[in-house]
Amino acid sequence: MRRSRPLAIVRAMLALAGAIACAACSSGSPAVVSVQKKVQGLLGQPNVTSFLDVRFGDSLYRVQNRFPNGSLETAPYGADTYRLENIEVDGVRYQRVKYEFTSYSGMQLVMAWFTPDSSEQVLEKLIAAIGAPTEQDSAKGSAPADTRAMWRLPHGERVVFDGPKRFVAVLGPGGGPLRQDEAENEALDSP
């Protein structure tokens, strides 16, 4: 247990050094890109910590306070679910967003159905935030609306993007009990 703390401190120091180096250089210089790649290589791939300002691990109470117009439901396997309808954030329009909660780990699954005109933005935001997909099912040059992609991240998160169904899901690191709900919702048509 003690060995992981020094590693965390080293990672934080490397991230700070990388940020300082990036601030000292112009944003387009090759040195900046090189430093950024080295820092990311040392720190590992990014992980997903939140969706629409709801953090993985947040309580149902916090989500209700953040979005008071939502409705409380129970998922098919008994998990508490909070559903939002027709919201727009950063130019992306979502027809429906569902947050699912585990008893002990808080919010651990988010599923969102976006409008057809938001496909490109959703995929671009995912790639910008977490990098290239681990798996992708589409021909090179295919439109985002025709793309299916999945990411497996180092902290146990699983991200699914399904352009044809206009669906995105993020299963958090403590979301194991919710995998079946995610799989069933992924199979549904868009609302």
Residues 128-166 pLDDT 10s? 988 989 988 876 667 888 899 999 888 778 899 999 999
pLDDT of residue 50: 85
Report which of 79, 83, 77, 107 is spatially closest to residue 96, judged by C-alpha positions.
Answer: 83
100 or 144: which leads in pLDDT? 100
User: In the structure encoding, which two tokens stand for residue 74, read together?
Assistant: 């129970």
Sheet holding 148-152, edge to edge: 71-74, 80-89, 92-102, 106-114, 167-171, 158-162, 148-152, 135-137
Q: What pTM was computed for the model?
A: 0.70
Q: What pLDDT is stored for residue 191 in this prediction? A: 56
Quick count: other Cβ atoms within 10 Å of Cβ 21? Answer: 16
In this predicted structure, the answer to whether residue 38 has a pLDDT above a threshold of 60 is: no
Helices (H) and strands (E) in the chain, counts: 5, 10
Q: Which of 27-31, 95-99, 153-157 has the lowest mean pLDDT?
A: 27-31
Which backbone phi and psi does 74 adopt, to 5 degrees?
-120, 125
- Looking up tokens 């909660």 gives 101
In this prediction, residue 173 carries a pLDDT of: 79
Alpha helices in the chain (DSSP H): 4-24, 30-43, 60-66, 119-130, 179-187
